[in-house]
Amino acid sequence: MEKAEKRRPGRPRSELSKNAILDVAYWQVMERGYARVTADSIAKAAGAGKQTLYRWWPSKAAVILDALAEKGRARIDRPQEAAIRSGDLLGFLRAVIPAMAAVGPVLRHLMAEAQFDPKLRAMLRERLIEPRREPLRQILATRVADAHKREALVSAIYGAIWYRLLLDEPVDEALAVELAALAPPAR
């Protein structure tokens, strides 16, 4: 049902350009900072036309979000798997927090853009927020029985991290330790 339309007439989408755009978006944003990356600079450096970018993504921010989500899958989610299986909250936070801090400047700008753009907000929730929230829920499942309480705790933990990122306050291992202590002990 998805792939029924696999072969449409006309020239197919260039995977080469797609990958080049995502790659350039990621590196430019890391090296120059979000503000100094433009749709033009991405397209130019990727050897692509600006239209090609806008054909597949609705905005510049969407490209960067996509690029970050791509990289994140490999760099963030893998290291956490052990912690998730063993319900090790502290271990989980010790992996998540430095990873988020490392891309903090990008995250903060994406969150900012998302405030002006509901579509991007939905995309952000879907690609970055929710995928990280679910594992935390699993870890907390054995400690907090009530679903509402659990959800509030999820908001408190990720909320604290985002809050500090957005306000230029320390996002470090000490925070991981304190946040881990917020949850009731495993039973």
Binding site for a copy of itself (CB under 8 A): 35, 108-109, 111-116, 121, 124-125, 129, 148-149, 151-153, 155-164, 166-169, 174-175, 178-179, 181-182
Residues listed for the chain? 187
Query: What character string, x for contact with DNA (CB under 7 A) and - otherwise, covers 49-68?
Result: xxxx-xxx--xxx-------
Region binding DNA by CB under 7 A among candidate stretches 10-18, 84-92, 96-104, 147-155 = 10-18
Residue (43 or 128) nearer to DNA, CB: 43
In 3D space, the residue among 165, 162, 166, 161 whose CA is nearest the CA of residue 182 turns out to be: 161
Smallest gap from residue 172 Cβ to a copy of itself (A): 11
Nearer to DNA, 5 or 168 (CB): 5
- In the list 19, 32, 33, 40, the residue contacting DNA (rule: CB under 7 A) is 40
Query: Can you read off the two tokens belonging to residue 42?
Result: 């991405």
Identify what 25 binds: DNA, a copy of itself, none; CB under 5 to 8 Å per kind.
none
Please, what is the minimum distance in Å from the beta carbon of residue 60 to DNA? 4
Q: How far is the CB of 105 from a copy of itself (least distance, A)?
A: 9
What does the block give as tokens for 69?
Answer: 């989500």
Closer CB to DNA, residue 53 or residue 179?
53
161 interface partner picked from DNA, a copy of itself, none, CB below 5 to 8 A per type: a copy of itself
| Residue 181: other Cβ atoms inside 10 A | 11
- Nearest 5°: CA angle at 23, between 15 and 34? 135
Contact with DNA (CB under 7 A): which of 23, 27, 30, 39?
39
Provide the binding-site residues for DNA, judged by CB under 7 A.
Answer: 7-14, 17-18, 38-40, 44, 47-52, 54-56, 59-61
